[in-house]
Amino acid sequence: MRRGLRRSPGELAHRLWFEIKAQSVRVLGDPTAGQNAEGFAGRFDAIDIDDLWGELAARPFPVVFGGIDPDRLDALLPGERARVLAAADLAKRRMVSVLGSGLVPLDKPVRWHRDVKSGIEWPANFFRDIDVLDHAQPSDIKMPWEVSRLQWLVPVGQSYLLDGDPAHAAFVRDILEEWIDGNAYGQGPNWATTMEPAMRVFTWAWFFHVFKNSAPWADPEFRLRFLRCLYGHLHFIHRHLEDFGVNGNHLTADASALVFGGLFFGSGPAQRWAKRGWEVLRRELPRQVHGDGVCFELSVGYHRLVAELFMWAVRYRQVMGLEAPGNVLARLAKMAGFTTAYTRPDGRAPLWGDGDDSRVLPFGGQPISDHSYLPALLATVCGTKPAGRRPTREALAEIVWALGIEAAEAAANEDDAGRESAAFSEAGVYVLAAGEDHVFVDAGGVGFAGRGVHGHNDCLSFEAVLAGVSLITDSGSFVYTADLAERDRFRATAAHNTPMVDGEEQNRIPAGEPFMLADDTRAVIRRWRRGSGGEELIAAHTGYQRLVSPVTVSRGFFLDKKHHALVVLDRFEGSSDHWVDVAYHFAPGVSVVEDGVGRWRLTANGQAFLFLVDGEGEWSATVEDGWVSPSYGIKVPRRVLRLHHDRPLMPIAVGVLPEADAPADLRGWLSAKAEQLWLDA
């Protein structure tokens, strides 16, 4: 009821209709229950299940399955074959690592409702009776969801494509049968949100085309069970679209799966699924992706997921000879441009907003934060030239397995253009970049139409890579519902590289609401200038205007190209005394040693950097232990420098630069750059 008070009448009507349809499943049940092979095949005008299987096998599919020459693969990606075979061996031993669990064994048969991290079992209740948040127990429903997505079986399929060993096909068949046996239609946590059956559609359809001609998949009874279950998934998705008026990646996943599954089956009710899914995607693309190409959830993790969901749906339509309108392709090309801009020199993405590591078809073994493959995939779909960045060597595997080895070879040989600064003004994101320097700045709102579902309290926060070394990062998201205190801690203002005033949040965090922020903060861009000597951004935000004695936070950034240096100037516009805390969270592995008054020496990747502070009045400093979450469910230690002031508001400037490139008069250099930012503001 508390959430309902925040919703519009239209949204409440959408949710009421969703609930009515959902409750009808109690009576209607599985739409294919008890149907024999001939009856099911007849839904698609096929004679029997083998006839239907053959028709489906002959249909185009968006993933390239042409034979991969082992010699060419080894020449392009040495070690990729060994990686795939090793990952397949682990999977076949039922050893998985999901969402920070570490390597853990699965039971035989798999206990599909179990959280492998906590050991807690979720009930096999009717899907609308399951509380996916369930604050009463220390368990994360994302754990059974992730295991049930079956993406951990992808290397087994890749191994079959490499060597054709029928044992791979037999193992995947056995796991699928265990899943069907353990997850009755509409019962248990793996049906609790429509997005989960949607995400399974992609892997199941891929498994079909990998193993469709294998001996272990020739049994008519298994073929019937497999296709009936996949049909049930799509019927469920079509009936329970998460369309609530203001929508995000859940509805995008639902609609993309309808396109994917509808084109997979191709006839009968599948035509209706594909049509409905495409209508939703075309409607939602301009709603969920700003004109500058940034996903409105304001998170790079969900930007990647949403881009993949749209991309695979468009690509499937293309291989079926169906048109993708120019405005759709243009918006996807913009998404590629944003991905290119936020990707650091090492191919990694910043820790901006939430991230639960979700992928559609994860084919590569690169780190989860490596997004460097995505622009090349989007360029293929959009029919545009690559965005000027080569994927990292590890991420090339994504292109090998999705588009074929020739496409990957072409991507590997693309020219790598120099890095440039970029502004994404609709989303409020700015990138100051030159060569091996990359500074990512959030100067926007909470996202998701002011709901803050996956946004953080990070206005005017930034990440910095200087001279190719990651020095300052945000904190990531760690977990969602498994620990609400940690959830709030990682999305709080104090976990980001941005000033905090009087211990207050930029945007209030509603108690017990892990996917909501108050929409308190507005950012204003005061100056954005690019030049031969450096890149400059000056912005302010209103998050502390709600204080009894209001304060406006103003922050200026200057990227000094000559010295690979970053200068940050903070000003606080207001009156009275306030307590101000400005945090700088260093990347894992960066050592921090005090090297004089207002000066610290940073060491990372064998390079030395200087961190300088120039502040009027009395600013104190502390270096403390902190945490960063590089991926969901994992946190690692790192060092945090906090600058404190509790007198009348005073500005403070910080400079970070490589020791080897430092000018002779460091203090004079910093003061001059800070003064220029002050004048420009």
pLDDT tens for each residue of 428-437: 999 999 999 9
Identify whether residues 214 and 338 lie together within a single domain: yes
pLDDT at 133: 85
CA distance 634 to 510: 25
Task: Kindly tell me if the per-residue pLDDT of 202 is higher than 70.
Answer: yes
Tokens 């699924």 sit at which residue? 273
Identify whether residues 375 and 431 lie together within a single domain: no
Q: What is the pLDDT of residues 366-411, one digit of tens each?
A: 999 999 999 999 999 999 876 667 899 999 999 999 999 999 999 9
Identify whether residues 338 and 473 lie together within a single domain: no
3 state DSSP class of 644: strand
User: Tell me, what CATH number does 535's domain have?
Assistant: 2.70.98.70
Confidence of residue 5 (pLDDT cuts 50, 70, 90): low
Alpha-carbon distances, residue 110 vs 105, 114, 171 (angstroms): 10, 9, 13
Identify whether residues 382 and 432 lie together within a single domain: no
- Which residue range forms the structural domain that includes residue 378? 4-412
- Contact (Cβ atoms closer than 8 angstroms) between residue 355 and residue 632: yes
CA distance 672 to 667: 8
- What is the mean pLDDT of the segment spanning 168-193? 97
Task: Kindly tell me if the per-residue pLDDT of 134 is higher than 70.
Answer: yes
Residues 6+ apart with CB under 8 A from 20: none
Identify whether residues 408 and 426 lie together within a single domain: no
Q: Which of 412, 433, 466 represents a domain boundary (last residue)?
A: 412
Identify whether residues 400 and 475 lie together within a single domain: no
- What is the mean pLDDT of the segment spanning 99-126? 96
State the virtual CA torsion across 291, 297, 302, 305 in degrees, nearest 10.
-50
pLDDT at 289: 98
Structure tokens at 298: 């304001």
Identify whether residues 439 and 397 lie together within a single domain: no
Q: What is the pLDDT of residues 639-678, one digit of tens each?
A: 999 999 998 999 999 999 999 989 999 999 999 999 999 8
Identify whether residues 424 and 405 lie together within a single domain: no
% the chain with pLDDT above 90 = 87
* 265-289: burial string, b at 16+ Cβ within 10 Å, e else: beeebbeebbebbbebbeebbeebb
Identify whether residues 173 and 35 lie together within a single domain: yes
Task: Kindly tell me if the per-residue pLDDT of 1 is higher than 70.
Answer: no
Tokens 């609930």 sit at which residue? 19
User: Tell me, what CATH number does 368's domain have?
Assistant: 1.50.10.100
Q: Which of 412, 438, 453 represents a domain boundary (last residue)?
A: 412
Identify whether residues 178 and 318 lie together within a single domain: yes
The count of structural domains within the chain is: 2
Per DSSP, the residues of 152-192 read GGHHHHHHHHHH--HHHHHHHHHHHHHHHHH--TTBSGGGS
Strand order in the sheet with 565-574: 523-530, 534-541, 551-560, 565-574, 652-658, 607-615, 599-604, 591-594
Structure tokens at 81: 């074959």
Q: Which of 380, 412, 444 represents a domain boundary (last residue)?
A: 412
